[in-house]
Amino acid sequence: MIDEGLSKTGQGTTPEPPESTVSEAAPAVPPAAAPQPGEAASAGPASPPVTVPGLDDCSLYINRELSLMAFNIRVLDQALDESCPLLERLKFLLIFSSNLDEFFEIRVAGLKKQIAFAREQAGADGLLPHQALVQISGVVSAQVQRQYAILNDVLLPEMARQNINFIRRRNWTPRVKAWVRRYFCDEIAPIMTPIGLDPTHPFPLLVNKSLNFIVELEGTDAFGRDSGLAIVPAPRVLPRIIRIPEEAAGPGDNFVFLSSMIHAHADDLFQGMKVKGCYQFRLTRNADLSVDEDVDDLARALRGELFARRYGDAVRLEVADNCPQHLTDQLLRQFGLSELELYRVNGPVNLTRLFSVTGLDSHPELQYRPFTPCIPRPLQNIEDIFQSLSRQDVLLLHPFESFTPVVDLLRQAAKDPAVVAIKQTLYRSGANSEIVDALVEAARNGKEVTAVVELRARFDEESNLALASRLQQAGAVVIYGVVGYKTHAKMMLILRREGEDFVRYAHLGTGNYHTGNARLYTDYSLLTSDEALCEDVAKLFGQLIGMGKALRMKKLLHAPFTLKKGMLDLIAQEAQHAQEGRPAHIIAKVNSLTDAKIIKALYRASQAGVKIDLIVRGMCCLRPGIPGVSHNIQVRSIVGRFLEHSRVYYFLNDGGEEKLYLSSADWMERNLDRRVETCFPVEGRKLITRVKKELDLYLHDNAQCWVLQPDGRYVRLAPTGHQVSRSAQSVLLERLTSASDSGVLR
């Protein structure tokens, strides 16, 4: 019998020790050596003049797919961070798997599509898709081996010491074996459909990322067939991890993998035949939807495309590492894949199903301590949010500060007789969210409710179709955005009659209207009644819902019209200040930095002498620390308990009136050129000072911070000497969840 593979350790593949601080994914293009952050330039003999490359030189740019893999590696490294609770470390390892799935479904699939249609295009880094795929395969293969080594050699043994056990078949006691057999016969076998392969039984069409087994057989069946091969798909309704009751396995949290059960009882599925081998595999397919937007009904077209997503072109094959070569070769031929797209794994092929274990009620000590987000003082114990917002803007930093005030504002608007109309964008919220509940209530109460629902939010299309239908049934007007541009802006506008006048109130955010994400992602929310800003929001809704030319805004920058130019102008202004000998400083906090025009503008600003601090969570195509080009730029990435998601843009502006913006947009081509996005100012010394202090926390983090090197590597910072460990997220948790003040960071 073939085991699920978890026992195959000790073969020379071991995880890097926790103190390892280097993460590699981007190809090394070694520019001239430059001082690292905090390192003084060495004094010595004069060096020969440095040749400064032109700003179009591909050596100045990192490939975006390889940079994204570098981020995923930083996530995986968290699984070795002993300062994290054990089950949270497991969660990071599983997030790596989930991220890798999407990486292949979207990014790798996109590269393969370019090759298939002979439309290969190189980015600013000069790497063609077929060249990138070779490098991706090498990086991913090494990291997948490392991931399973971390699971098998580190996490599972540590979990076993905490009496959380995944019992391997070789360790099944007679009681466990008996229980497994009953469970298999009662719950698994009745819904299994083994498929013998022969001319009348062709290879089945397998669903994207489904668990399957290729079975090698010996003998003939009742009809005399002896093809020797069968495919066993595991129905998706079956759990991949099954808890064994205490009466069978004893005390503790004891689990067994579905794959183990099927391996153990494969003979039962082929009566009278001999099973020579049973090996699990999983196929990943292209999951990027291709919807023709030149249709009469986008929602109907999208519904049809959602089914096709399950059966897109093959992009990756994962097989158990004990699967014989002739069987893997047959699978590769069947799916039209090469060895480059084959990944052998030492364990279950779909680790994401282990997420069900990370929240065990029996082990709260192995998880992050829960916390209660605070409510800022201006919004505490008030009956009328509108009255509070008429006096001052309120800025919230989630998840440290509660998302509840945003929901409460909408709930109050739904009930308030003075509220006439509500307009809102919905990108990711969930069909049954509190936000949608409030909009439904408002529509039923006779408010004029208009929702701009982005149906094409990746992997939320089905949910958004459901919430659009729900809002329409309640009487709301539902708009699907603009053809050719995803509506990614996060904004809400409420129109309220106060006396003889209409007064507008707005919410603008960097994150989605999703209460679950607001507990996991760091994002800013601005609640305001600022007349000019609310008027800008009203104009933008008018552009989305109606027709007409782009209107001039007073405060708001918006893509695809003014946001990119506005950012380029602000960067150029800092460069001019530096050239004139005045103070100049840029701080940008984004999820990704890939736009070549923005990168070139930052390079020019660095050359002019602007100090540039970039906090880039994920992809970063800019190379910092290159003499004569980016020597004034530092790039750091924060990976911690919460997903860093806020976008913040700070410009010193000659030390006079500092300019600070929050945005729904990253510095990416898609955000700046092909999406509807907002970028809104934070005004008033008090709020600007607060956000600047919060940025400073990230710039001084030495506990969860990775610093990008000129050659594309990331080096993790750690306290040295007498330094105190500083984690921005931990400080914010302590300060903003322990007490609530006027919104100023203490």
Strand pairing category for 22-23 and 714-716: antiparallel
Residue type present at position 270: F
Q: Compute the residue count for the chain.
A: 746
Cis peptide leading into residue 560 (ω within 30°): yes
Helix (H) / strand (E) containing 314: strand 314-320
Alpha helices in 506-562 (DSSP H): 531-545
User: In terms of Cα–Cα distance, which of 249, 220, 69, 65 is closest to 142?
Assistant: 69
Tokens of 680: 């809104």
Q: How many helices (H) and strands (E) does the chain have?
A: 20, 28
- Kindly list the distances between the CA atom of residue 224 and the CA atoms of 213, 220, 272, in Å, as whole numbers in the listed order: 23, 5, 12
Which tokens sit at 239?
Answer: 């759990």
Residues forming beta bridges with residue 397, ordered by sequence position: 524
Indicate the SS3 state at residue 608: helix
DSSP 619-658: -B-B----TTTTTTEEEEEE-SSSEE--EEEEE-GGGSS-
Residue 488 annotated as catalytic = yes
Give buried/exposed letters for 106-132 (b at 16+ CB in 10 A, else e): ebbbebbbeeeeeeeeebbbebebeeb
Picking from 627, 609, 623, the residue whose alpha carbon sits closest to that of residue 32 is 627
Tell me how far CA of residue 593 lies from CA of 61, 446, 590, 671, in angstroms. Answer: 11, 44, 7, 10
Question: 279: which 2 tokens?
Answer: 């090996």
Quick check: 511 and 517 in contact, CB under 8 A?
yes
| Helix, strand, or coil (residue 615) | strand
Contact 377, 402 (CB under 8 A): no
DSSP-derived secondary structure for 589-604? EES-B--HHHHHHHHH
The token pair that represents 260 in the structure block = 């183990």
Choosing from 263, 363, 398, 488, which is the catalytic residue?
488
Among 61, 28, 26, smallest CA distance to 596 is for 61
- The residue type of 350 is N
Phi, psi of 556 (to 5 degrees): -85, 135
Instruction: Tell me the sheet residues that pair with 209.
Output: none
Cross-strand pairs, 388: none
Q: Are 468 and 481 in contact (CB under 8 A)?
A: no
- Give the Cα separation of 411 and 494 in Å (integer): 11
Looking at residue 177, what DSSP letter applies?
H
- Helix (H) or strand (E) holding 166, with range, is strand 164-166
Q: Which is it for strands 633-638 and 705-708: parallel, antiparallel or unpaired?
A: antiparallel
* Rounded-to-integer distance, Cα 271 and Cα 219, Å: 11
d(CA 270, CA 230): 9
Count Cβ atoms below 10 Å from residue 312 Cβ, excluding itself.
18
What angle separates helix 86-102 from helix 64-77, to the nearest 10 degrees? 160
| DSSP H or E stretch at residue 736 | helix 728-738
Specify the residue for token string 């087994």: 213
* 706/714 Cα distance (integer angstroms): 6
Rounded to whole angstroms, the Cα distance separating 546 from 548 reads 7
Which residues are catalytic, by number? 488
